[in-house]
Structure 1
């Protein structure tokens, strides 16, 4: 599909606010396609292959990593963007970049770093994603970061909705960046970025069922207590009464994704029709998000998330492993902070500065870039005993 066939509410590439540092346009790629490609070729993206989604990478070959999760989000987001006739390149760029700021060990690592640098502004993985693509990636000759377009950066920062006016503190790194490049924190993001955000929800709701079942965190009977899952299990069993468990699991996941996508499309089309004008500006200035699930689906997904929270994210085995992972991150942070010589040569000088807040943020940047296996290897190098995360 060419950009000329887009819906009127799609992001108009000719009206892009461009890059903070001007560059010559590509002869072969549109601006958002360049963003997507820069993200795919970044060091931070490759590292996602060995960063935890829910289960540590060495617990099994089939569990999702941050990389496989990001690829699944991208696929779902592209499909939705195509159905709504908006810019797939922009949607895909935001989807692929949304987890670049995650530290090792998933949310356990994030909690540990947030506590460790509480006096230096705290740690937020969305804000860290912004730091990665605007500062920490150092691969281009002319600039730090990836020099992405304004619209892709906006989508990253507003991954969970507007930043301002929501009653929540805005992470310090986002405020610092917006002081020199205003991402308009009091508006919503484009339809494309909102699609990427909901595709993230669709992907993890479906694949955490898959991973949780494979990890023996629950049974099909347990899952049938959730109305959304029960409905699809009954329909599946009526069609395939003797289906084997592995196929039953995959078919359930497939049907759940389809149900969530179809609900999102119907609700979003209604919200688009209710906009005061069919334009990207109307989407950003709306009083509510434009891309959304219906009230019924939101309620059902809330029940599903509570089930996953209880049976998977707070499963005793997961909690034990993640508690040990938090300890690894805290101990690495304390060691690097008090002994900058333990850092790689290129990271040492900045850690020896006189500003403790800047030092804390610098060390957090280094740890956040580590993969699970690198963090474990570093801990083994620096300490006499390292927890076995199994």
Structure 2
């Protein structure tokens, strides 16, 4: 979308708050297009192909990974942004980067790494995503990280504890941590990424859950948000009710559910923008969140989320696997803490030359950057036990 076609309250690349390390503009790309390209070419982005959503990497070739999830979020985000005249390139950049700091083994890995780091500041995957793009990527001779714009970094940092916000503010006064201290909102593009993330994972967790056999279409009849689209698809295409049509029926129901949620967000957000009439991006930051579901769609989405939590995320088979994944992460942390020389030379040197805080953070950075299969192999190398994989 041309800069002139953007809404006044959208993020215009020519008005960006810039990068921490100033750079001359690119001749053929906007600032947010450069951010997107740097993210796509980063090592952390490539690792997402072997990082878990719900099902661990060894459990099947067709289940979502962090990479495919990020691509789906970006697609949804761009579609909505176009209708709202927001900056599609910024939305895409944030969507593609929002999970760069996720650990192996999904939320199980994140939770146990946070437990391991309790005496050293804890672990937040959103903060780790920012740490990846600000410090851990090693691609440029002049600086650590990939030097993204303020607006992309602001969107990546979806959540942040007050303690960590204060630390960020001390290092970067007026930077991405300040809004958490002031209770302000991020840009509309960042708000949109948060909602696109929710829409995407609810839909693809239904798909992966049914594909895995852990949940069924019969169970989903108890979820109004999904079942009404299933019923409509079956009424329009009766042959899909047969066993041979179930795969197509599931896909059609999910497609319709996604479309209605996208249209709902567009309509609800337009109404909120009309009511609050923000003049520019700074005005947006002082208002309530404006990118939103309608109240009815929000309530229905919550019912779906509770169903997935109960029937899929807490399914005994998923819990059994994630318990083993938690053990892998916990034992890796303990081993590397005791002997950092088990890590590659650069990480070992960083851990050995610093204090206890630096050692623990170096270990956490190394583990967080692992893919599922690398973490499983490392654990087997160091313990002689295979807990995951074939």
Same fold (TM > 0.5): yes
What does 1:202-241 align with in structure 2 at a 5 Å threshold?
202-241=199-238
How many angstroms does 1:171 deviate by? 5.5
Per-residue displacement from partner, 1:143-178 (whole Å, max 9, x unpaired)?
100100011111111x25xx5xxxxx3363x54333
Matched residue, 1:346: 346
- Distance in 2 between residues matched to 1:142 and 1:31, nearest whole Å: 19
| Paired residue total | 380
Task: Render the CA deviation track for 1:307-326: whole Å, top value 9, x for unaligned.
Answer: 00011111101000000000
Deviations along 1:179-210, one digit per CA (max 9) or x if unpaired, are 23222323211111111111000100100000
Aligned to 1:331: 331
The 2-side partners of 1:67 and 1:35 are apart by 17
1:122 and 1:171 in contact (8 A); partners too:
no
Greater share of residues in helix: 2
Q: TM-score, normalised by structure 2?
A: 0.95
* Aligned twin of 2:316: 316
**Runs of at least 5 residues in structure 2 that lack an aligned partner in the other structure:** none
Could you tell me which residue of structure 1 aligns to residue 139 of structure 2? 139
Match of 1:176 among 150, 164, 167: 167
Normalising by the residue count of structure 1, what TM-score does the alignment of the two structures yield?
0.95
Q: Distance in 2 between matches of 1:237 and 1:303?
A: 22
| Counterpart in the other structure of 1:375 | 375
Distance in 2, Cα, partners of 1:89 & 1:228: 30
| Structure 1: runs of 5+ lacking an equivalent | 164-168
- What's the offset of the Cα at 1:276? 4.5
Verify: 1:49 aligned to 2:41, yes or no: no
Using the TM superposition, give the Cα deviation of residue 238 of structure 1 relative to its aligned residue in structure 2, in angstroms. 0.8
The answer on whether the counterparts of 2:49 and 2:67 sit within 8 Å (CA) in structure 1 is: yes
Check the 8 A contact 1:57/1:65 in 2, yes or no: yes
Shift of 1:142: 1.2
Match of 1:364 in 2: 364
- CA distance in 2: counterparts of 1:30 and 1:252, whole angstroms: 38
8 Å CA contact 1:103, 1:369 repeated in 2: yes
Q: Deviations over 1:320-346 (max 9, x none)?
A: 000000000010000000011111111
RMSD: 1.3
1:200 to 2:192 alignment: no
| Deviation (angstroms), 1:252 | 1.2
CA shift, 1:389, in A, is 4.6
Distance between the aligned counterparts of 2:343 and 2:371, measured in 1? Answer: 15
Runs of 4+ that moved beyond 4 A:
none
